């Protein structure tokens, strides 16, 4: 029996500081053995994960007006996967970073298109019958082993022009399990500005085979900055439980121009005002009568995008 699933994913998150985005697409499938079927044909597609495309854009526009597209090439967005084998013929217990060395894989390349234009890299142990290839603008990860996780990682996606916007990700992929072979643990993660891949970057994780086509939506919180606003040595809200006026106390080591904003738990910006911050101990009061009861994030940012945040409760 063939199990096939295709997901159109809309993942929303607030791009507050981050100006680059990377995505990591991972999964597991059965080691297909023997490689050739009874007719002498390669059968590793029977345990296969397919990445069709990734599109990134501001909210509501990733599918129709994306700023980044991979796997569905156009003149404006040519990035795709070449018709080529990227990884094949691997020895046991090889990581991709070393698979080209002595005793490694007979084929070991990062994914590319056109005249060797890079579209990312791979991560994980490339074992024995494992194969990764591109065809028809898709990426295929095959026969990597039930207990082995292999990932494709995009290059950094420049979102400088979309800074301060809510970003949407659309991804289409499928899993194939045929003749008793399996596909599982397909997952997607994201990171900003070379941060480590955090748990909060987990967009989705499919723990087992999925037998239907479906569309799902995930809403993530504000993107966490990887660079702290060190010019502010302390930031406190007194009291933390606020009624009509938010009282802010901070210590400032170096003067800077920037902004003060308030976001809700979903990352939507409810207030943004330009401010000049001066050296010393400073106090500010911000009227918040307009806020509904709930949890909020105070964000102070300088003009380069570094931020300092604090949480408070409005009652």
> 3-class DSSP state for residue 200?
helix
The whole-number pLDDT of residue 113 equals 97
Please report, in tens digits, the pLDDT of each residue of the chain (315 residues total).
344 444 454 455 545 445 788 899 998 888 899 999 999 999 999 989 999 999 988 777 888 888 999 999 999 999 999 999 999 988 765 666 667 666 678 898 999 999 999 999 998 888 888 999 999 999 999 998 888 889 999 999 988 777 666 778 888 888 888 888 888 888 888 887 766 676 555 777 776 554 344 344 343 333 433 356 777 888 888 877 898 999 999 999 999 998 999 988 767 789 999 999 999 999 999 999 999 998 888 888 887 667 788 888 898
Q: What is the rounded CA–CA span in Å between residue 134 and residue 51? A: 10
Q: Which CATH number fits domain 232-314: 1.10.10.10, 2.60.40.10, 3.40.50.10490, 3.40.190.170?
A: 2.60.40.10
The whole-number pLDDT of residue 268 equals 77
The whole-number pLDDT of residue 200 equals 54
- What residue spans define the domains of the chain? 3-220, 232-314
The whole-number pLDDT of residue 93 equals 58
Closest C-alpha to 11, from 50, 76, 42, 57: 57
């Amino acid at each position: 029996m063939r199990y096939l699933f295709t997901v159109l994913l809309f993942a929303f998150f607030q791009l507050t500081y981050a100006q680059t985005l990377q995505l990591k697409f991972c999964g597991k499938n059965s080691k297909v053995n023997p490689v050739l079927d009874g007719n002498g044909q390669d059968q590793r597609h029977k345990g296969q994960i397919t990445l069709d495309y990734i599109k990134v854009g501001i909210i509501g526009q990733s599918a129709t007006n994306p700023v980044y597209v991979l796997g569905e090439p156009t003149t404006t967005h040519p990035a795709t996967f070449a018709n080529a084998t990227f990884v094949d013929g691997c020895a046991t217990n090889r990581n991709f970073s070393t698979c080209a060395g002595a005793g490694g894989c007979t084929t070991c390349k990062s994914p590319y298109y056109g005249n060797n234009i890079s579209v990312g890299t791979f991560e994980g142990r490339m074992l024995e019958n494992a194969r990764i290839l591109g065809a028809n603008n898709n990426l295929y990860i095959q026969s990597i082993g039930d207990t082995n996780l292999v990932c494709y990682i995009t290059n950094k996606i420049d979102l400088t022009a979309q800074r301060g916007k809510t970003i949407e990700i659309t991804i289409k992929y499928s899993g194939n399990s045929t003749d008793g072979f399996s596909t599982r643990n397909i997952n997607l993660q994201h990171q900003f500005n070379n941060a480590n891949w955090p748990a909060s970057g987990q967009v989705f994780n499919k723990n087992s085979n999925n037998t239907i086509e479906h569309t799902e939506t995930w809403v993530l919180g504000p993107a966490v900055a990887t660079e702290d606003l060190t010019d502010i040595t302390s930031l406190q809200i007194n009291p933390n439980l606020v009624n009509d006026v938010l009282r802010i106390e901070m210590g400032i080591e170096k003067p800077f121009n920037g902004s003060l904003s308030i976001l809700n738990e979903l990352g939507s910006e409810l207030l943004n005002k330009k401010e000049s911050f001066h050296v010393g101990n400073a106090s500010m009061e911000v009227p918040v009568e307009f806020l509904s009861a709930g949890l909020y994030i105070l964000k102070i940012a300088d003009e380069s995008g570094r931020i300092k945040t604090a949480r408070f409760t409005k009652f």
